[in-house]
Amino acid sequence: MLGKGAQDSAEKKRCITVLQKLMTLPNGSLSLFLTHEFREYTAVLNPRFALPASRGGICSLLDGPLQVIKEEIVREVEESVGASVTVDIWSGKCIKDSFIAATIPYVGDGSLK
């Protein structure tokens, strides 16, 4: 049986993992996670879990998953004949709702991917 500290740590890790999945849904804005309403919602679900208070803190939760994605992209593209990177950045009506997308077309296994 886990001690209280280990249980709290496992619970926090589970909360962060679920939050990361939510944050990486397509067409979502990170601004949602900074609203009072979202903080209130998470407090109801788990009063012991505290969301990071700043945009930088929220974004830092994505560092791990982003690194995994980068490594997958490098593995996929490194043996290609050539690759091109296109990055699009845009925002909604409110500058706080900003988005970024990257497209990397490349030739691998004799076909365009």
Look at residue 4 and tell me if it is in a domain.
yes
As for how many domains the chain has, the answer is: 1
pLDDT in tens, 67-94: 998 898 888 888 787 788 898 888 877 7
Q: Is residue 68 part of a domain?
A: no
User: Which residues, at least 6 apart from 55, have a Cβ–Cβ distance to it below 8 Å?
Assistant: 30, 34
Domain membership flag for residue 66: no
- Asked if residue 47 belongs to a domain, the reply is yes
pLDDT band at 41 (very low <50, low <70, confident <90, very high): very high
78 is a domain residue: no
For residue 102, what are its two tokens?
A: 């990257």
pLDDT tens-digit map of 91-104: 877 766 777 788 88
- What phi-psi label fits residue 27: left (phi over 0), alpha (psi between -120 and 50 degrees) or beta? left
Per-residue pLDDT tens digits for 16-36: 999 999 988 887 788 889 999
What is the three-class DSSP state of 27? coil
Domain of residue 34, residue span: 1-61
User: Is 0.85 topped by the overall pTM?
Assistant: no
Q: How far is CA 7 from the centre of its chain?
A: 24
Examine residue 93 and state whether it is found in any structural domain, yes or no.
no
